[in-house]
Chain A
Amino acid sequence: MSAPKLLSANFGSEVSHRLDHYLERGGYDEARRVIAEVEPEQVIDQVKRAKLRGCGGAGFPTGMKWSFIPKGGDKPVYLAVNADEGEPGTFKDKYILTYEPHMLLEGMLICGKAVGCHKAYIYVRGEFDLPIERMEQAVAEAYERGYLGADVMGTGFPFDVVVHRGGGAYICGEETALLESLEGKPGHPRLKPPFPALVGLHGCPTVINNVETLALVPHITRLGADAFLKLGVESQGGTKLYCVSGHVNRPGIFELSPSVTLRALIDDYAGGMRDGAKLKAVIPGGLSAPVLRPDELDTEGSFEGLKQVNSMLGSAGLIVMDESVCMVEAMHTIIQFYAHESCGQCTPCREGTGWMRRIVERILAGHGRAEDTANLDSIARKITGTTICPLGDAAAWPVMGFVEKFRDEFEYFCKNGRSMVSGEKVGA
């Protein structure tokens, strides 16, 4: 299980973000070679065979996404890098931006060659001051020394990069909202189709990829597709960055093979449960992923593995809860987040999230009604599949998961007006 640290070897370093340090490590060699010598189709084919899966949440095969970009069209092709990192429980892209900004730029250059793109935007969440500063510094250094600009490394390949600062809206991590935001508009997701590969930024073909996804690309071309695939599992090549937070001894970021089980991740890497407490529940893939019980943790931490237990790897942010947690209270924290972040375009999402929040608040205040548990489940079910973007689903899934797996706690709270765990009412 000792996977090589492709991305994280220099996390925490004082110098790894500088161009010279990256060059000493062989940085930009792959971009130079690929731009000068490799055909776009070959790059895409290699990324496909390496089975790189998108790390932003959906796990979509990256090579396939790139192959959707029309070849030889008359419109420019854009690359939008998703560095919005808004999914609660996730904090991995911040490390790449801060410690390996040039690795990201190199992956972007290779992507640019593969899809015929000459202009990229990096959309960074607005709160990330240090990561933005590092990224801007890296872009400036790369321009100065000819790794970006009109003639990248003397190959004749032009490539421009703009770092764009977000404004503090979770929804802008959704890819079409991100495009709207890059056009200066409010982040209202677009109806699909048309998909961004055909009609994206300013109406032009656009690739949208997560930071981690792109930072892995130079490693694919360097190692070769087969060696990269071998680092992972059959359905998913390469290593994966896992974020573990909550009630563990060593919360943090771990780069591992996706063959790792969630249990090993918590016990062996994150140092086990804090204060020897007993584990109660784990949200495995950022706040939107359906919750798991302790008996479901022997599953493989891959996109396919999590699917088998009806959850998802998502952004690989694990939130670990011990037995002191009242699930009704936890549910409130979750649902108030989605109610707050709904962009308001679709009625089921806008009204449903607020409605579920009010029900949970009523339960917490000790005024729960007998039908409230069932109502939460039924409202959530009616949101799924009826909205423009997946935020509606992302709000509904955790509710359905909590109610299914911890129904007794919800029913107890409604019936007795206090928490089954703490014995108290909470008052929202």
Chain B
Amino acid sequence: MAAGDNTTTGETLSAALAAKEVEVTCFPEELREECDALRARYETPRAALMPLLWAFQRRYGYVSREMERVIAEELEIPLIWVRETVTFYTMYNQRPVGSHHVQVCGNLSCTLCGARETIRMIEEELGIAVGETTADGRFTLSVVQCLAACEEAPMMQVNDRYYGRLDRQRVREIFGGLE
């Protein structure tokens, strides 16, 4: 099952991540216009669900259980439809993640070009293991599948940017340049 990788459930959130939790109990006015536009663009309310989830994640960094309920009510669809979609797709965060989500590719082309050593090196640089978040809430580290940038192996994605041909010096420069 492809679900849930970006979200280690069961583990308690560090204080830094817990501080990023937001309470959303009714549909946010600031997303109403976008929501209406999406509903007009798609054939059914359910089809507007994925882009609406993206809008929530862009705004809040993740999609909480409460947000799922708010979305279901707004689209007038059963809550389970929202739940199954949120949990099926790996890119919807079900809890807050570090400010910089470091996703290192572990597929074949990258592995041929040293991804395994790269992952170990990044663990060292950040002082955390794959699946963890730094205590200050800045970095979350994951290993992901092929990101369609095998020509730049070994490579990683940090939030919305791709970085290729990684070695220790380049990784230090990249991390050093982030806020």
Task: Report which A residues bind B (CB closer than 8 A).
Answer: 85-91, 93-94, 125-130, 162, 164-171, 181-187, 201-202, 243-247, 251-253, 283, 287, 317, 319, 321, 325, 330, 333-334, 337, 340-344
Instruction: Check if B88 is an interface residue, CB within 8 A of chain A.
Output: yes
Task: Report which B residues bind A (CB closer than 8 A).
Answer: 1-2, 41-44, 46-51, 53-54, 81, 84-85, 88-92, 106-109, 111-113, 145-153, 157, 160-162
C-alpha gap A125/B153 in the complex (Å): 19
B150-A88 in contact (CB<8A): yes
Determine which of A91, A126, A129, A201 lies in contact with B150 in the assembled complex, contact meaning CB atoms within 8 Å: A91
The smallest beta-carbon distance between A77 and chain B, in angstroms, is: 13
Sample (19) of A-B pairs whose CB atoms are under 8 Å apart: A91-B150, A94-B148, A125-B148, A126-B91, A165-B51, A167-B53, A167-B88, A168-B2, A169-B2, A169-B88, A170-B2, A185-B46, A186-B88, A202-B43, A202-B44, A245-B109, A251-B150, A251-B152, A330-B108
Contacts of A130 in B (CB 8 A): 160, 162
The smallest beta-carbon distance between B6 and chain A, in angstroms, is: 8
B50-A171 in contact (CB<8A): no
C-alpha gap A186/B87 in the complex (Å): 9
B42 — nearest CB in chain A belongs to which residue? A162
A167-B90 in contact (CB<8A): yes
Determine which of B84, B90, B107, B113 lies in contact with A88 in the assembled complex, contact meaning CB atoms within 8 Å: B107
C-alpha gap A287/B106 in the complex (Å): 13
A337-B46 in contact (CB<8A): no
Contacts of B84 in A (CB 8 A): 185-186
B150-A183 in contact (CB<8A): no
B153-A251 in contact (CB<8A): yes
Known: A85-B148, A165-B54. A184 touches B85 (CB 8 A): yes
Contacts of A252 in B (CB 8 A): 151
Known: A89-B108, A127-B91, A321-B112. A343 touches B151 (CB 8 A): no
Contacts of A330 in B (CB 8 A): 108, 111-112
Known: A88-B109, A184-B49, A246-B112. A341 touches B89 (CB 8 A): no
Known: A165-B54, A186-B84. A319 touches B106 (CB 8 A): no
A186-B85 in contact (CB<8A): yes
C-alpha gap A127/B88 in the complex (Å): 16
Determine which of B43, B44, B92, B146 lies in contact with A89 in the assembled complex, contact meaning CB atoms within 8 Å: B146
C-alpha gap A337/B92 in the complex (Å): 20
C-alpha gap A251/B153 in the complex (Å): 9
A182-B148 in contact (CB<8A): no
Contacts of A162 in B (CB 8 A): 41-42
Determine which of B145, B151, B160 lies in contact with A251 in the assembled complex, contact meaning CB atoms within 8 Å: B151
In the complex, which of the residues B106, B108, B161 has the most CB atoms of chain A within 10 Å of its own CB atom?
B108
B151-A88 in contact (CB<8A): no
A170-B145 in contact (CB<8A): yes
C-alpha gap A397/B150 in the complex (Å): 22
The smallest beta-carbon distance between B103 and chain A, in angstroms, is: 8
B107 — nearest CB in chain A belongs to which residue? A88
B149-A164 in contact (CB<8A): no
C-alpha gap A334/B110 in the complex (Å): 12
B147-A127 in contact (CB<8A): yes
C-alpha gap A330/B48 in the complex (Å): 40
Contacts of A246 in B (CB 8 A): 108-109, 112-113, 150, 153
Known: A181-B50, A245-B151. A333 touches B1 (CB 8 A): no
B90-A287 in contact (CB<8A): no
C-alpha gap A170/B171 in the complex (Å): 27
C-alpha gap A365/B2 in the complex (Å): 25
A334 — nearest CB in chain B belongs to which residue? B108
A187-B88 in contact (CB<8A): yes
B50-A129 in contact (CB<8A): no
B53 — nearest CB in chain A belongs to which residue? A167
A183-B89 in contact (CB<8A): no
C-alpha gap A89/B149 in the complex (Å): 8
B108-A287 in contact (CB<8A): yes
Known: A246-B109, A334-B108. A90 touches B151 (CB 8 A): no
C-alpha gap A127/B161 in the complex (Å): 9
A86-B148 in contact (CB<8A): yes
Determine which of B46, B92, B106 lies in contact with A184 in the assembled complex, contact meaning CB atoms within 8 Å: B46
Q: Top 5 nearest A-B pairs by Cβ distance?
A: A167-B89, A186-B88, A88-B146, A245-B150, A168-B91
C-alpha gap A93/B112 in the complex (Å): 23
Given contacts A86-B145, A91-B150, A183-B47, 10 further A-B contacts (CB under 8 A): A89-B109, A94-B149, A162-B42, A166-B50, A166-B91, A167-B50, A167-B88, A246-B150, A247-B112, A253-B151
Determine which of B1, B43, B113, B151 lies in contact with A344 in the assembled complex, contact meaning CB atoms within 8 Å: B1
The smallest beta-carbon distance between B72 and chain A, in angstroms, is: 12
C-alpha gap A334/B161 in the complex (Å): 25
Determine which of A169, A183, A187 lies in contact with B44 in the assembled complex, contact meaning CB atoms within 8 Å: A183
C-alpha gap A374/B50 in the complex (Å): 43
Contacts of B147 in A (CB 8 A): 127
B151-A243 in contact (CB<8A): yes
C-alpha gap A333/B112 in the complex (Å): 10
A127-B150 in contact (CB<8A): no
Contacts of B89 in A (CB 8 A): 126, 166-169, 186-187
C-alpha gap A89/B110 in the complex (Å): 9
Determine which of A94, A171, A201, A202 lies in contact with B2 in the assembled complex, contact meaning CB atoms within 8 Å: A171
A91-B151 in contact (CB<8A): yes
Determine which of A88, A167, A185 lies in contact with B145 in the assembled complex, contact meaning CB atoms within 8 Å: A88
The smallest beta-carbon distance between A244 and chain B, in angstroms, is: 8
C-alpha gap A129/B148 in the complex (Å): 12
